Structure 1
Amino acid sequence: MNTDLAPARLSAAAPPAGTGPFAAYEARVASGRLDRDPEQEKAARRLDQLWRELRDYHPVVQSAPPASGWLGGLRARLGLARPAHEQARPRGVYMVGQVGRGKTMLMDLFFSLAPVEHKRRVHFHRFMQDVHQRLHDMKEADPDLTDPIPPLARQIAQEAWLLCFDEFQVNDIADAMILGRLFDYLFADGVVVVATSNTKPEDLFQDRPGADAFRPFIAAILKEVDTVILDSPRDYRRGNARGMQTWIIPVDAAATKELDSIFARLADGAPVVPVALDIMGRTLNVTRAAGPVARFSFAELCGRPLGAGDYLALATRFPNLVLDGVPRMGPDNFDEARRFIVLIDTLYEQNVKLFASAEDRPDAIYAKGQGATAFERTASRLEEMQSAAYMQLPHLNA
């Protein structure tokens, strides 16, 4: 079973066997570990419905791939591929809400209780990196393979027919071009999807080049999953940033000196050496590394065309990252801001400890203009990453 499940941010004893998500949520409220939130309760009830439906759902994913090419894709889109699965498959759940509303907590609670042997819980950036890696490997193994999407979908469905995605977001045109056909085949093979996101399905990848080609995927998601909106006014991540200083303002000589000291303490006597990380046949050079810590400037990590795969390789190799000179950002340097968002998502998922100098507070470095709403999650995560609780989490290096 491949879970990719990070440690829960809210610790709790495992519920008794046979407990559904709603009963487990109510138990946490009764014990005082959670405050009652009507929006969370609504989502917990919908997840509980899916939990009950999954108890009697057992798709049989065959070893042979479905028909490939335009005919296979057409059959999948029309619901003609594997009709038994199409009729019996429960509808998935897509939870949407602002940062800190409890979406991930609820999905992790559901995942831990789901009566499914073959299930996987994964951050969406990491899933797409795995998809790209597998496509690369399949094409290398068989240069004559004209359409790797159907056999790839079959592999994924055989490994896990319940997929839980945290932070479902599409920013990359390469991802957008793959997703439509991949999910057509996954749904045709009986896969059930649960996801969290800050963006409604119909708003994914909108106002970007290539958005028209992405609309069939949006239609498929709306057909196969129910959207549940968590509209709570409270951000449960706020107010936890205390203890260790990890976000140093402003960017000046004193901040550089402080980061020098932090880097030396984290290195604990290890020599400063360059490290080369291999990413799908290419190299990411880390010029300043010492034992468990790497150091970069903001320009080195976000000012050049790096992506989720680069950041994941970095985050799995180093438990600590020192970052110099995070600037204020806005629409004029949105590409840099977008890379910074992906970087922080990846560091957060791997429990990497971040020490940075910046021109302003996390919630003020991108305050206005297009992209400001997307940055709210990043600001919230940066605040949580300063907390004593986060600093105690074990690094995830796999």
Structure 2
Amino acid sequence: MLCRFQQILAFGGKRLRRHQSLSTRCGGPLIAYERLVTDGLIQRDPVQLSVMARFERLYDELRFDDKAQEPKGEESTLASLKRFFGGTDTADTIKVPRGLYVHGSTGSGKTFCMDLFYEQVEQSKQRIHFHEFMLSIHRRLHELKNMNATENPLTAVAHQVLSQGRLLCLDEMQVTDIADALIIKNVFQALFEAGCIVVATSNRPPSELYYNGLQRQLFEPFIPLLEKYCQVVSLENEFMTDYRLVKGAGETARVYFIESCDHARDEFLDCKERLLADPELSDRLVLRTRDSGREVHVPRADLACRAGYFTFDQLCGSALGAADYLAIAQALHVVFVDGVPIMDLNDLDRARRFITLLDALYDNDCVVVIYAATEPEFLFVADKKNNTFSEKARDDKTKKARDEAFAFDRAVSRLAEMGSVEYLTHARENRPPLAIDILKAPDLDVDQLFQSLDVDNSGNLDTDELAALLADVSELRRGHRNVPDEEVQIAMTLLDTNGDGFVDLEELRHYVLNSPKGKDALFRDAIPQNHDR
């Protein structure tokens, strides 16, 4: 028998994943939207149409305003702006197009609208989740501090961001970390003055960002700055529909197990053991965050199929944050979370971490398999709609509980989407391979690669030499040499079978010729579709 959460997804219809190609470039976001309506892929929504009209205007400004064009040749973005506009690089002087800040309830279509716009834009652009963006800002500032750079670090960081794309699209802007709150105004001031055009989505209007946060008075100057450079647009209406729930995938997969359901525990453990049963492959794993190199411990992991197991307390009961969860999401493909409890007013920190964890897993196309005390919509028992439900409603702690419940709505909707067969199929087919996975390609000459990188002729590759090998393989098959430390770490763990800290040619050959059952087959076996409805 299906539990209630599985039944809520049993509606027909085809859902569009946010990373799925929404359309080919066809003359602007409004035309693209109407084409999707005509093709029967989405329903026409008057509120979304109104928002798409704002995106259409910005699209036109980016196309036809000379001040928004990309620089020619090797000239940097900032240099070209200074040359064309009298040596100043402030947005007030060069009158760059005003960005957009789109807010609305969970599932209202914020990300869908922004992604449709983003796909049509041909100018210099970048899209990133807000959590990941702020982590990159902290990392860059830290690096500049260590370099003792003479340039204003915020100006330098703004130049770095701008070089990656003048149009900056930020998904899910929310501020919960005081470290972000303290620097966000100055960071965005530098970006706006450098000519950056920001488009952001959020569950909150600007005035409600970082609501009840510590030292919020230091954050508040960011609000008028954001409203000055970004037009604020709402996707709210009285009859708001969560399209991620209504336009279900037609069937669900067994990735959310509820304690009260018959055989749920056995099914969860069976699913876990299919991926993590081999004691030779399953072991502890230590990852490192990109910002500070902090260690993140995975109590049980099988790197051959990129699966990891945690209890809820291991993930959300200690002081982990967005950087830790991002390291997990980028290293693992399947994440098991065991024992998610019902959270009340005493569990606000754990609830916040759980929400941040789901954000990281969702944005990196991870599969999350959960064993929980109840359905997602009942995991957090706080009534955000009732401002006077008890005398405690006037104290700070209860206001924070209602604030967290608002964010939890997004998590519930995401869990719904992540439980659909369409999401899981997309995750399996579109998750980019690790560089070490590419070593299994039959046309690669592993011996030649090894010999070319064994620069000291020691017969062993150390960590730096292995990183160079993986970078070569990545460039050959993925078109870039960017191999994060997590990938190198995973590769060393898989290849170094004798644990001496080096990889010899025989270890490399053994991995290539005797690699275990592929993760796709394991994925299909361990997480079957539900046909017994």
Instruction: Indicate whether the TM-score tops 0.5.
Output: yes
Q: Do the aligned residues in 2 keep the contact of 1:277 with 1:284 (CA within 8 Å)? A: yes
Q: Deviations over 1:237-269 (max 9, x none)?
A: 004273211111117995443332112222474
1:242-257 alignment, distance < 5 Å? 242-250=251-259, 255-257=264-266
Shift of 1:331: 2.5
Q: Using a 3 Å threshold, how does the CA distance of structure 1 residues 86 and 29 change in structure 2: closer, same or farther?
A: farther
User: TM-score, normalization: structure 1?
Assistant: 0.88
Shift of 1:161: 1.0
Q: Which residue of 2 aligns with 1:170?
A: 175
Counterpart pick for 2:55 among 47, 52, 65 = 47
Q: Do the aligned residues in 2 keep the contact of 1:10 with 1:105 (CA within 8 Å)? A: no
Q: Which residue of 2 aligns with 1:114?
A: 121
Aligned amino acid, residue 197 of structure 1 = S
Shift of 1:150: 1.8
Shift of 1:219: 1.1
Q: Which residue of 1 aligns with 2:308?
A: 294
Q: Do the aligned residues in 1 keep the contact of 2:25 with 2:119 (CA within 8 Å)? A: no
Could you tell me how far apart the structure 1 residues matched to 2:36 and 2:151 are?
51
Q: Do the aligned residues in 2 keep the contact of 1:59 with 1:190 (CA within 8 Å)? A: no
The answer to whether residue 341 in structure 2 is matched with residue 327 in structure 1 is yes
Could you tell me how far apart the structure 2 residues matched to 1:107 and 1:25 are?
11
Number of positions where the alignment pairs a residue of Structure 1 with one of Structure 2: 375
Q: Which residue of 2 aligns with 1:20?
A: 28
Could you tell me how far apart the structure 2 residues matched to 1:354 and 1:273 are?
19
Aligned amino acid, residue 395 of structure 1 = R
Q: Secondary structure at the match of 2:243?
A: coil
Q: Do the aligned residues in 2 keep the contact of 1:51 with 1:115 (CA within 8 Å)? A: no
Shift of 1:53: 0.5
Aligned amino acid, residue 173 of structure 1 = I
Q: Deviations over 1:77-121 (max 9, x none)?
A: xxx9734654421111111111111111111111111131x2100
Q: Do the aligned residues in 1 keep the contact of 2:259 with 2:265 (CA within 8 Å)? A: no
Q: Which residue of 2 aligns with 1:260?
A: 269
Q: Using a 3 Å threshold, how does the CA distance of structure 1 residues 294 and 122 change in structure 2: closer, same or farther?
A: same
Could you tell me how far apart the structure 1 residues matched to 2:188 and 2:350 are?
29
Rg larger in 1 or in 2? 2
Question: Which one has more relative contact order, counting CA pairs under 8 Å at least 6 apart?
Answer: 1
Could you tell me how far apart the structure 2 residues matched to 1:184 and 1:348 are?
29
Q: Do the aligned residues in 2 keep the contact of 1:272 with 1:290 (CA within 8 Å)? A: yes
Q: Secondary structure at the match of 1:177?
A: helix
Q: Which residue of 2 aligns with 1:357?
A: 371
Shift of 1:148: 1.9
The answer to whether residue 67 in structure 2 is matched with residue 31 in structure 1 is no
Shift of 1:58: 3.0
Could you tell me how far apart the structure 2 residues matched to 1:252 and 1:243 are?
16
Shift of 1:63: 5.8
Q: Secondary structure at the match of 2:24?
A: coil
Shift of 1:47: 0.1
Counterpart pick for 1:347 among 357, 361, 377 = 361
Q: Secondary structure at the match of 2:423?
A: helix
Q: Do the aligned residues in 1 keep the contact of 2:126 with 2:169 (CA within 8 Å)? A: yes
Q: Which residue of 1 aligns with 2:147?
A: 141
The answer to whether residue 431 in structure 2 is matched with residue 395 in structure 1 is yes
Q: Secondary structure at the match of 1:341?
A: helix
Counterpart pick for 1:231 among 228, 232, 236 = 236
> 5+ unaligned residues in a row in structure 1: which ranges?
1-5, 67-79
Q: Do the aligned residues in 2 keep the contact of 1:162 with 1:192 (CA within 8 Å)? A: yes
Aligned amino acid, residue 140 of structure 1 = N
Shift of 1:236: 0.3
Q: Deviations over 1:115-148 (max 9, x none)?
A: 31x2100111111111122122222222x66952
The answer to whether residue 130 in structure 2 is matched with residue 124 in structure 1 is yes
Aligned amino acid, residue 289 of structure 1 = A
Shift of 1:373: 1.4
Shift of 1:62: 2.9
> 5+ unaligned residues in a row in structure 2: which ranges?
1-15, 72-76, 384-401, 435-483, 485-533
Q: Do the aligned residues in 1 keep the contact of 2:282 with 2:301 (CA within 8 Å)? A: yes
User: TM-score, normalization: structure 2?
Assistant: 0.66
1:180-195 alignment, distance < 5 Å? 180-195=185-200
Q: Secondary structure at the match of 1:276?
A: strand
State the identity as a percent.
36
Could you tell me how far apart the structure 2 residues matched to 1:303 and 1:84 are?
44
Structure 1 residues 83-92 or 353-362, which shifts more? 83-92
Q: Do the aligned residues in 1 keep the contact of 2:334 with 2:368 (CA within 8 Å)? A: yes
